[in-house]
Amino acid sequence: MPSQEFTTSGPWVWPAEVTTATQTTWGGGGGGGSGIPGKGGGGGGARASSVVTKTAAQTDVTIGAAGTIGNAGGLTSCKQGAATDVAAAGGSGASGATGGAGGTVSSSTGTSRFAGGKGGDGGGVPSGGGGGGGSGGQAATGNNGANRSGNNGGAGATAVTGGYNGGNGGNSAANGSLPTDLFAGGGGGAGNGGTSATGRPGRCLIEWDEPIPPSPPTKSRLSLKAIDVCLLGFAIAGDLGGLTIYTNKNGRKIWYDFAPPDKPPSWNQIRQRGRFVQATINWMALTTTQRKEWQRATEICCQCQTGMNAAMSYALRHDEEIVLTIERQSGLTLTRPTIVPD
């Protein structure tokens, strides 16, 4: 099954033939506490997922930030336009010695939602800090971080299936630890005299089924021939029934058996088709005046391409130097279309 992981915010362009995709999000983990000698651990981010139906050309993914010390982690979301399809809440930051709450189901969006675990409590002088909470999982709420035990820090939450762990709390005079997993867990609280850890950032995973192409039509049994093809006085070219017809360099019409592909397109071909569709959408998003400027520039530079070709090439290849050369030679300033991600 094809998939794309997001650890930073950005767009996901829907492949042309894909109509549904499973989108899974984890909110950012909360940071450990500050101020009190033995600090609490941060809460783990929630997990949310849904099978989403395509309603736009792309899905905008926002990755929830890691919670800084004493602050909550960010919301991770997937949107088509203004509509939120899936979102997972971030865990709360610890408040002094009290561990932060996990990201909540009520603040998340999706058909499957599981809260993050609570951070463990610190407290006392001298004392250790609380462990960070784990993120929500595939079918379970995240585990809670352990409370401190005297001068010993509490252990970070162990990960549930499909989730991430929390950071360990620091012993007396020691710092709290980051979660060993890279996403969504709460930061460990510090012991007295130490510094708490931040949480981990959120994550998004989008998965979809590779489309099954239609079966190719049956090939014609006609053999290859070179003849003049004319019907009622009209010249014919292209596909006609079971034939493909074209004009050769000598001006003669050539016809042969129509030969469609005999195997389905590769995933890379499907992805490239989707990129070309998006480049066309980005070109049409320019104003009429902006599109005319691209056309004028290519004509002034005597290029063997249209303004649309040049602008779409920029959107697909991201070659700024070529556009700067066209601007310099034409004396025009061109508005760039939005770049299509690789």
Sheet containing 3-6: order of strands: 3-6, 203-207, 20-26, 47-53, 112-114
pLDDT in tens, 31-65: 999 987 899 999 999 999 999 999 999 999 999 99
pLDDT in tens, 216-269: 554 444 444 444 445 444 555 566 666 777 666 666 767 667 666 777 888 788
The per-residue DSSP string of 194-230 comes to: S-PPP----EEEEE-PPP-PPPPPPPP-PPPEE---E
Residue 270 has what pLDDT? 83
Residue 249 has what pLDDT? 62
Residue 17's Cβ-side half-sphere holds a number of Cα atoms within 13 Å equal to: 16
Confidence of residue 212 (pLDDT cuts 50, 70, 90): low
At 22, list the tokens.
């499973």
Domain ranges of the chain: 1-212, 225-257, 267-330
